[in-house]
Structure 1
Amino acid sequence: MARLLSFTSVLALIAASASAADMNFNRVASFATPQNMAQGEDANRESSSEIIAATEDGLRLVYTDSPLGAIGMIDITDPTTPKPLGNIDMGGEPTSVTVIGSTAFAAINTSENYVAVGGKLLTIDLDGKSIAAECDLGGQPDSIARSKDGSFIVIAIENERDEDLNEGVIPQMPAGQVAMIDVSEGVADCASLRFADVTGLAEVAPEDPEPEFVDINGLGETVVTLQENNHIVVLDRDGKVVSHFPAGSVTLENVDLTDERGALRFTETQADRKREPDAVKWIDDTHFATANEGDYEGGSRGWTIFNKDGTVVYDSGTSFEHAVIEAGHYPDKRSDAKGVEPESIEFASFDGVPYVFVGAERASVVGVYDVSDPAAPVLRQILPSGIAPEGIVALPSRNLLVTANEADLVEDGGVRSHVMVYERQDALAAYPQITSAGADTLIGWGALSGLAADPENDGILYAVNDSFYGYQPSIFTIDATQVPARITSVVEITRAGQTAQKLDLEGVTTDGDGGFWLASEGRTDRLIPHAIYHVDAEGRIKQEIPLPAELLAQEKRFGMEGIARDGDTLWMPVQRPWNDDASNEVKLVAYNTSTEEWGAVRYPLDAPADAGWVGLSDIEIHGEHAYVIERDNQIGAKAAIKKIYRVAMSDLSPAPLGGELPLVEKQPVRDLLPDLKALNGFVVDKVEGLAMDTEGKAYIVTDNDGVDDSSGETLFFTVDAMAPASN
């Protein structure tokens, strides 16, 4: 069997040959929270990793799991192989956790409703997995933080608003406050509990402060974000106000504010958008950084560094969101809300380099910023995370970074909540593998489906997006000679001078004359036709060819998934069986552009390994074979079939529709599961695009579903040779 090189293998070779690679964070492991469930427990219960902390030796992680009413623990002695340590029942909803030594302190919400509020602080012996002490907090807690010396703890008592009451408008009593409690001999001293009054400070609902997040600097000062009030307060160790100030607002330019599913147009402006910070972290004793999520009336889509006197030292404006857009992680469905929604933030110094880590909840990424100059942070990386990063903890003594990602899609059969571990390495950044950074204009992209190679220029590819971007069907030009691959330009598909509607592009191939043939999957219940489109180099539709009646009479929802050209013949795989197919067979449909004749052959599918279905995703013709992607629709640990097969071109002799169709024989070429696991995340569902250059190098891309119930990761990798797999 020929030696095959994945994208990450190429990265390793490049890194090894480099004289001095930059230090980068790369993911080394992922841990699904259901692994912490006890034997016999229903693994299909919702579970979620939210706020996360670590023991001081850096060997164990502790995270809150509010759906289970527990805190979970993970052994990361070997960070590449996290091991479950089980859950500890909290008797309520844990909202936050911190650790001193090997003792955890968890804030627990016990409120009956938004008025009858309650909460407690638990001291937890992690070694014995037992509750060592319990203190009544008298209100609904949110964030918790420990002092640097471990002598006291601060808790934000939010007493959050009811968003369904009076349209969520504040004030809504009872008011929030900040709790402080000493730690004595490793246990919270309930008798020392005191409260800092932060009413009467904010311009927005001053009588109803809603403390959201707290952090403590080396001087023992606590910074508190009042998120809905768009205000920030700094307290001394005794709870006295050192300073307070509005968080302010930002005017955002070149943003997408339109809740129009399926179009990435960054042309709008939003004036005076309130920051409404959520998470906050001290950088030093004078500066702190905020993640400006918004929740009430704002959300500036960015993050800010403040001086504790209220001076804005730095604001990211739209630069962070634009970097997320270039990485293909922009959540279009959140355009009219808060965009990428920065929510979590962490600070730590690694080998003397100070970093701020910004988690974007809706984009499912973490921005890594070098803040050596707090007035001019430098974005070093965009890290892929699980769905909805909620908590971040840095472990510089072990060169590790960890994210807790709260979304658990168990009810939809989707991916589970994950904790992800990254290591700072002397290596190239493994992600993103494809980006639009460096293009002449800001290019938003996602949901890449079909892929094709330029026949004249090796390494130049073309990709299309699918129906998620139904208001912006496009062809992207990709320069795959660069690492990462670069989307350099885009043309939108038009009809009579207007953006073409009712397209579900799943395949693209060149026409040999500067234009393209496109396959649209179609869905008749949404009035999207199954069709082939011929477009010129500018994306203008020249010809629309509907499927013939003989095919449409047998139509089921899933249609053509890819297109390839062999001279005058176009070949298109139908993704799943239609009404006249056997349950484990699909058609490869042929259309002759010269004679306008249709035909087909039958293709045998693998049987599903467990649940779900198996179908085809793309087709490519190279030499004497046609290559197809065959995959199941499973994700994460359930994924079993993500493969490339090939069929001899001599077998592709299409028979007329309506008669007996020949059954082709397939040969396995490559199991893609190892490639999909190479970045140490969970296995993504949709391997969608396949292209091959003149030398036979294959390019493969995954579909990120437009970052909708998806981590947004797009994997793009190469295979140097496509020989049949050995048995």
Structure 2
Amino acid sequence: MKFRNIVWTGVAAAGLLIAGGQSYKVLGEEPAFFQYQGGHMNVSQIGQYDSGSGEGGTEILAYDEKLKRAFVTNGAESAIDVLSFERLDSGEFSMMKRLDRIHLAEFDIRDVDDITSVAAHPERDLVALSVVSDPKTDPGYVVLLTKDGKFVGKIEVGALPDMVTFTPDGKKLLAANEGEPADDYSVDPEGSISVVDLDTLSAKTLTFEGVPLDENVRVGSKGTVLQQLEPEYITVSEDSKKAFVTLQENNAIATVDLESDRIIDVKGLGVKDHSLPGNELDGKENGETKLERLPLLALYMPDAIDTFSTGGKTYIVTPNEGDARDYDAYSEEAEIGEIADKIKLNAEHYEGYNQKKLDRLTDKGLLDALADTKITLENGLNEDGDYEALYTYGGRSFSIFDAETMELVYDSGNEFEKITAKALPEYFNTTNDEITYDGRSSSKGPEPETVVTGDINGTTYAFIALERTSGIMAYDLSRPEKPKFVTFITSRDFSEDVEGDVSPEGLQFIPGDASPTGKPLLAATHEVSGTVAVYEFDSPKGKKN
């Protein structure tokens, strides 16, 4: 492996590495930590928590600034792990210990299965959990606890609450109720959004009945339109007046008016054309690293999103993961090779090709080379039963949308694959439970999972977690129309399939004035390894807001 502007410390390294003209002593007790580029932003890992539960042991984390305490969902144990951040020291690595483990079974709530999300109230002594019923198609619950783990109450919400969050002003609690179908589609509940009044502890569950959808919202699947709409994740504007909710399978975002508690509309995000320069990808699992223009249209399908404001405007940041409907009774997913005899590509769907060029590529065996590449059967079909365009899952990028219009302001194009190809050439497009070079090229690549924004010395940054590669990208958002890549970090140990911190699922930014070290921190929950990593940032002194 070639090292260029790289720092790598921990058990994956040996002896002394020289990077960027500086020496870095390897401490045997530290986990692997790797930083690619970074310039003036130096990052170090100062903490790690190991749940001991393995896969599913750490999924989503909520941090309480006053108590310097974190609440972490442990899906493997159907529990919440409580961690203290108070003993973290600047520039020094330490293993973090658990203060408590609170099991869902302790609350004596019948017919419940799992905790999917957690949120800590910014002021009050409240922690909220989203709890899925058994079966998942029944209405779920939001469970409220005190911050020392005592039961406060439960509130019924919609089916399969997948995410819960408090508004910044602390007045309301919101739940995204995904409403997934049963595997056999015997029951398919409608998706919804619940708004909880914290004074009365009562929920108003908002449905999509009568809500306007634009033409780009994906609703051509199995079931009614209301059954197909599946809220995934919520972010709230800084003034607590609006919420923005991803509907991942629908490739769309809903806007909620929190002053009137109504869903305003749902807007589709459109597609990313991989035939255009700048949008190249490695779409072939063939043992090579090759980014190229291909006749693929990517559905953005973001999962966990965030917002930031600048210049009087609010923007939504999306990690473009992708997600197919794939159940026992119905699946939209296929490989190109399975439908090759039904593909007749039409250049009108692609900006980067004319028909002559597209036909030439097909004649030279392009579809054979893409035989393993994953696509959806729900888009691209013409009246004759042929696929004129190929639609794939996720943009392998992050995007910025104008929150008011939902128009695309920026997309990172091919940068994630370009950067990881240089930073981790031996592990390019590996997956999260097995070291397999080029193993994810035919399906979502590095797979951006979640994003969080945070302010460091007056500059707003986006931190985007790559689920499969197991790393985090950092971008400067000073110019929303042209963000700048800053650094890439990972604390996965690539010497084993699952070692170190593997598969980041959730991110929590902790500003310097709320941090136990006095410097900004980023906490990342890693689902496959069941660990939490805490990173500390030393960054440039910028202009204060």
Is TM > 0.5 for Structure 1 vs Structure 2?
yes
Cα pair 2:305 2:451 within 8 Å, conserved = yes
Cα distance per residue 1:144-187 (max 9 Å; x no partner): 1211111111110001245x558xxxx97211011111223xxx
Unaligned runs of 5+ residues in structure 2 are: 1-13, 26-38, 106-112, 220-224, 325-375, 377-392, 431-437, 492-500, 541-545
RCO comparison, higher one (Cα < 8 Å, 6+): 2
Q: Once the 2 structures are TM-superposed, how far is the Cα of residue 5 of structure 1 from its aligned partner?
A: 6.4
Superposition RMSD in Å: 2.7
Say whether 1:404 aligns with 2:413.
no
Q: Quick one: distance in 2 between partners of 1:143 and 1:83? A: 26
Q: Quick one: distance in 1 between partners of 2:304 and 2:507? A: 10
Cα pair 1:111 1:118 within 8 Å, conserved = no
Cα pair 1:177 1:197 within 8 Å, conserved = yes
Say whether 1:387 aligns with 2:502.
yes
Q: Quick one: distance in 2 between partners of 1:219 and 1:302? A: 28
| Structure 2 counterpart of 1:291 | 319
Q: Quick one: distance in 2 between partners of 1:194 and 1:159? A: 13
CA distance change for structure 1 residues 122 and 200 in 2, over 3 Å: closer, same or farther? same
Q: What amino acid maps onto 1:346 in structure 2?
A: V
Q: Quick one: distance in 1 between partners of 2:45 and 2:173? A: 31
Q: Quick one: distance in 2 between partners of 1:311 and 1:77? A: 42
Q: Quick one: distance in 2 between partners of 1:175 and 1:11? A: 58
Q: Quick one: distance in 2 between partners of 1:268 and 1:312? A: 21
- Aligned counterparts, 1:567-578, within 5 A: none
Say whether 1:76 aligns with 2:191.
no
Q: What amino acid maps onto 2:104 in structure 1?
A: M
Tell me the secondary structure at the aligned position of residue 418 of structure 2. helix
CA distance change for structure 1 residues 58 and 422 in 2, over 3 Å: closer, same or farther? farther
| Structure 1 counterpart of 2:17 | 7
Q: Once the 2 structures are TM-superposed, how far is the Cα of residue 46 of structure 1 from its aligned partner?
A: 5.4
Q: Once the 2 structures are TM-superposed, how far is the Cα of residue 200 of structure 1 from its aligned partner?
A: 5.6
Cα pair 2:218 2:268 within 8 Å, conserved = no
Say whether 1:112 aligns with 2:130.
no
Say whether 1:420 aligns with 2:441.
no
Cα pair 1:64 1:96 within 8 Å, conserved = yes
Say whether 1:280 aligns with 2:305.
yes
Q: Quick one: distance in 2 between partners of 1:6 and 1:402? A: 27
CA distance change for structure 1 residues 47 and 232 in 2, over 3 Å: closer, same or farther? closer
Q: Once the 2 structures are TM-superposed, how far is the Cα of residue 196 of structure 1 from its aligned partner?
A: 4.5
- Aligned counterparts, 1:686-725, within 5 A: none
The aligned length equals 390
Comparing 368-377 with 89-98, greater Cα deviation is found at 89-98
| Structure 2 counterpart of 1:323 | 419
Q: Once the 2 structures are TM-superposed, how far is the Cα of residue 325 of structure 1 from its aligned partner?
A: 2.0
CA distance change for structure 1 residues 303 and 33 in 2, over 3 Å: closer, same or farther? same
Say whether 1:182 aligns with 2:193.
no
Q: Quick one: distance in 1 between partners of 2:187 and 2:401? A: 29
- Aligned counterparts, 1:507-522, within 5 A: none
Runs of 4+ in 1 over 3 A off after TM superposition: 8-15, 241-244
Say whether 1:90 aligns with 2:90.
no
Say whether 1:302 aligns with 2:408.
no
Q: Quick one: distance in 1 between partners of 2:289 and 2:306? A: 32
| Structure 2 counterpart of 1:255 | 281
Q: Quick one: distance in 2 between partners of 1:46 and 1:340? A: 19
| Structure 2 counterpart of 1:134 | 154
Tell me the secondary structure at the aligned position of residue 486 of structure 2. strand
Q: What amino acid maps onto 2:17 in structure 1?
A: F
Say whether 1:149 aligns with 2:169.
yes
Decide which of 30, 41, 51 is 1:33's aligned counterpart: 51
Tell me the secondary structure at the aligned position of residue 320 of structure 1. helix
Q: Quick one: distance in 2 between partners of 1:230 and 1:172? A: 23
Cα pair 2:143 2:153 within 8 Å, conserved = yes
Cα pair 1:111 1:140 within 8 Å, conserved = no
| Structure 1 counterpart of 2:237 | 217
| Structure 2 counterpart of 1:311 | 407
CA distance change for structure 1 residues 68 and 241 in 2, over 3 Å: closer, same or farther? same
CA distance change for structure 1 residues 270 and 302 in 2, over 3 Å: closer, same or farther? farther
Q: Once the 2 structures are TM-superposed, how far is the Cα of residue 210 of structure 1 from its aligned partner?
A: 0.5
Q: Once the 2 structures are TM-superposed, how far is the Cα of residue 106 of structure 1 from its aligned partner?
A: 0.7
| Structure 1 counterpart of 2:213 | 201
| Structure 1 counterpart of 2:495 | none
CA distance change for structure 1 residues 33 and 12 in 2, over 3 Å: closer, same or farther? farther
Q: Once the 2 structures are TM-superposed, how far is the Cα of residue 83 of structure 1 from its aligned partner?
A: 2.1
Unaligned runs of 5+ residues in structure 1 are: 16-20, 35-42, 408-415, 428-727
Which structure is larger by alpha-carbon Rg, 1 or 2?
1
Cα pair 2:195 2:205 within 8 Å, conserved = yes
Tell me the secondary structure at the aligned position of residue 76 of structure 2. coil
Q: Quick one: distance in 2 between partners of 1:372 and 1:152? A: 30
Say whether 1:229 aligns with 2:250.
yes
Q: TM-score, normalised by structure 2?
A: 0.67
Cα pair 2:169 2:239 within 8 Å, conserved = no
Cα distance per residue 1:384-430 (max 9 Å; x no partner): 042110000000132111100000xxxxxxxx421000001259xxx
CA distance change for structure 1 residues 47 and 300 in 2, over 3 Å: closer, same or farther? closer
Cα pair 2:18 2:24 within 8 Å, conserved = no
User: Alignment identity in percent?
Assistant: 25
Q: Once the 2 structures are TM-superposed, how far is the Cα of residue 85 of structure 1 from its aligned partner?
A: 1.1
Decide which of 458, 465, 468 is 1:352's aligned counterpart: 458
Tell me the secondary structure at the aligned position of residue 404 of structure 1. strand
Q: Quick one: distance in 2 between partners of 1:382 and 1:58? A: 30
Tell me the secondary structure at the aligned position of residue 123 of structure 1. strand
Q: Once the 2 structures are TM-superposed, how far is the Cα of residue 138 of structure 1 from its aligned partner?
A: 3.6
CA distance change for structure 1 residues 10 and 316 in 2, over 3 Å: closer, same or farther? closer
| Structure 2 counterpart of 1:548 | none
Q: TM-score, normalised by structure 1?
A: 0.51
CA distance change for structure 1 residues 405 and 46 in 2, over 3 Å: closer, same or farther? closer
Cα pair 2:213 2:265 within 8 Å, conserved = no
